[in-house]
Amino acid sequence: SKRFETTDSWVDRLRGNRRYLDAVEDVSVSVERGQTLGIVGESGSGKSTVVDMLVGLEAPTSGRVELDGNPVGTVADRSAEQLAKVGVVFQHTRGSINPRATVRDVIAEPLFESGWDADRRTDRVDELLELVDLSPTHADRRRHQLSGGQLQRVAIARALALEPAVVVLDEPVSALDVSNRAKILNLLLDLQEQLGLTYVVVSHDLSVVGHVADEVLVMYAGQVMERGPTETLFDRPSHPYTNALLDAIPSVSGDTPAASLPGSVPSAVDPPSGCRFHMRCPLAEPECRSETPSMEAVDDARSRCHFASEIAADSDDDSEPLE
């Protein structure tokens, strides 16, 4: 029989995935059972750090991080049982899968680490393959024999192996083409309904997050710029950065070039004065350079902009049908 090859634990693997930590401040995150929280932002926005806090690799310096109504501790504080409650689909799926291991062994990794015997592992992997719509013939393949979509299904099956309550998905479809994106997102929605899963979906792409999330948190330079129900953010955004992310979504046919913001995210370690978005904001006023906006409620959303209410009112006008 073949030797089971285990790689580093998922914690080591996740640590290895992170080159640096972005500073984040004042971020409170809570996810309700059975719901999906989307976190969106460009690279450097701090969204990966929020993921690290959720899975317990980092403790929040300020703010609260809760999953399922309970504050999350760090990995060091958590029991093996608590750790198993969070499944993770890593950002770079190909890199998170051992090239020498078969699909069966990759999916069985968490089971192996939790001490399941070979017979139980086999049965559970068979169930998981079916759950993610892979055929039994995929079980003996290796990484190089799988398409991007199949690899993502393997990663999802592995994340679900120990029946986690919460699954964190970091850029779950960014490596896939458009048709595979829709298939994987729809699979995730089916699994959520079937298994009552709670998701945290992280992406630089607001359209991905909008497809699956109930609530969205828009991050920029280590701060939350806007948060609210997905519908509100799409129909009535109240922050210029959310507007810019919405403008960057290509049309369905893909023939309209996506508008994108010039420039890049400033450092969250040494942030600019005033509003952190002021250098790139099309609506910036002189006061934005000196006065730091705080989060304010705009109906059922919250926004960090001096002009949040006016912007929300404006986007409401925009959405009125033409006469």
Does 284 bind ligand SF4 (CB under 6 A)? Our answer is: yes
Q: 48 vs 230, which CB is nearer to Mg ion? A: 48
Q: 74 vs 267, which CB is nearer to ligand SF4? A: 267
168 dihedral zone (left: phi>0; alpha: psi -120 to 50; beta) = beta
Count of chain residues binding ligand SF4 (CB under 6 A): 12
Q: At what angle do helices 118-131 and 148-160 cross, to 10 degrees?
A: 130
Figure out which of the listed residues 37, 275, 295, 312 binds ligand SF4, where binding follows CB under 6 A.
Answer: 275
CB of 124 to ligand SF4, least distance (A): 49
Does 48 bind Mg ion (CB under 5 A)? Our answer is: yes
CB of 184 to ligand SF4, least distance (A): 33
- Kindly indicate which of the ranges 36-44, 145-153, 230-238, 278-286 contains the residues binding ligand SF4, using the contact rule CB under 6 A: 278-286
Q: Give bridge partners of residue 142 from the DSSP assignment.
A: 102
Site for ligand SF4 in 295-314 (CB under 6 A): 305-307
CB of 195 to Mg ion, least distance (A): 26
Figure out which of the listed residues 42, 51, 277, 302 binds ligand SF4, where binding follows CB under 6 A.
Answer: 277
Cα(51)–Cα(101) distance, rounded to whole angstroms? 27
Residues 217-256: x where in contact with ligand SF4 by CB under 6 A, - otherwise, as a string: -----------------------x----------------
CB of 239 to ligand SF4, least distance (A): 6
Contact between 73 and 57 (Cβ < 8 Å): no
CB of 61 to ligand SF4, least distance (A): 23
Q: 21 vs 283, which CB is nearer to ligand SF4? A: 283
Figure out which of the listed residues 169, 278, 298, 302 binds ligand SF4, where binding follows CB under 6 A.
Answer: 278
**Radius of gyration for the chain, computed over Cα atoms and rounded to the nearest angstrom:** 21
Instruction: State which residue has the least CB distance to Mg ion.
Output: 48
Q: What are phi and psi of 102, to 5 degrees?
A: -80, 160
Cα(206)–Cα(216) distance, rounded to whole angstroms? 9
Q: 106 vs 288, which CB is nearer to ligand SF4? A: 288
Cα 255-257-258 angle, rounded to 5 deg: 125
Q: 11 vs 283, which CB is nearer to ligand SF4? A: 283
CB of 294 to ligand SF4, least distance (A): 10
Q: How many angstroms separate the first and last alpha carbons of the chain? A: 72
Residues 6+ apart with CB under 8 A from 179: none
Q: Which of 80, 82, 83, 103 is nearest to 93 (CA)?
A: 103
Does 281 bind ligand SF4 (CB under 6 A)? Our answer is: yes
Residue 154 to residues 34, 132, 141, Cα–Cα distance (Å): 22, 8, 11
Contact between 239 and 311 (Cβ < 8 Å): yes
Residues 6+ apart with CB under 8 A from 97: 106, 143, 151, 154, 155
Summarize as ranges the residues that interact with Mg ion (CB under 5 A): 48
Summarize as ranges the residues that interact with ligand SF4 (CB under 6 A): 240, 275, 277-278, 281, 283-284, 288, 293, 305-307
